[in-house]
A = this chain, B = another copy of it.
């Protein structure tokens, strides 16, 4: 991983909240930096010659191995306290880079993005800067550096209020899924149980689902229909 510092927009970063779900609990992807005991969201910087959206996609792919996912921008964090020279210095020294003064040690304005994926379909790989990369339950996150816990909270708030509109864009579920699968997604994200009959009515009412054959799973009960998202829901 090359890291020509001066190719980047100074003092600007992004942080991404990668929500993962797989049938039950909502998880979040967290990095731990080499030699720092610091937990953080996957983030990065914007090159002079790439768009903000592309920078986030590229950086996220490099740092986590996660590729081709739908990212939603939700807020830009610009308080003055957003700097961490000690940690940044340690991270760079771990890479054999020694700097006296640099914008990397100053304050950052950071653009927040989030995504929602099926964490069983990807295997995150830590990059050179990171010790580990792991999924953490939302209910038991470690303490994150700076304001990253706040960023997570704000991302989830945004996701919850826009779930109906955004669910289509996230390729969270497999191509074919049952109504129960879909309901479990909603329950994990909203953090509360949904009424089965009304949930079905609402989802079918949105007009974004296509019904397919039934799924014979072998259980001794009625087999559920399979659904997919319509490609053109209008």
Contact = CB atoms under 8 A, between A and B. Distances in A.
The contact size tier of chain A is 20 to 34
Contact of A109 (B46, B49, B79): B46
A107 interface: yes
B107 A78 contact: no
A97 interface: no
A102 interface: no
A171 interface: no
Interface string A59-84: 00000000000000101111110000
Interface in A9-24: 9-12
B79 A51 contact: yes
A52 interface: yes
A77 B9 CA distance: 14
Contacts of A9: 10-12, 109
Contacts of A73: 75-76
A53 interface: yes
Contacts of A143: none
A71 to B, nearest CB: 12
A111 interface: yes
Interface in A106-123: 106-107, 109, 111
A203 interface: no
A80 B51 contact: yes
A204 interface: no
A131 B80 CA distance: 33
A80 B49 CA distance: 7
Contacts of A51: 78-80
A48 interface: yes
A49 B83 CA distance: 12
9 contacts: A9-B109, A10-B11, A46-B109, A51-B78, A51-B79, A53-B78, A55-B78, A73-B76, A78-B111
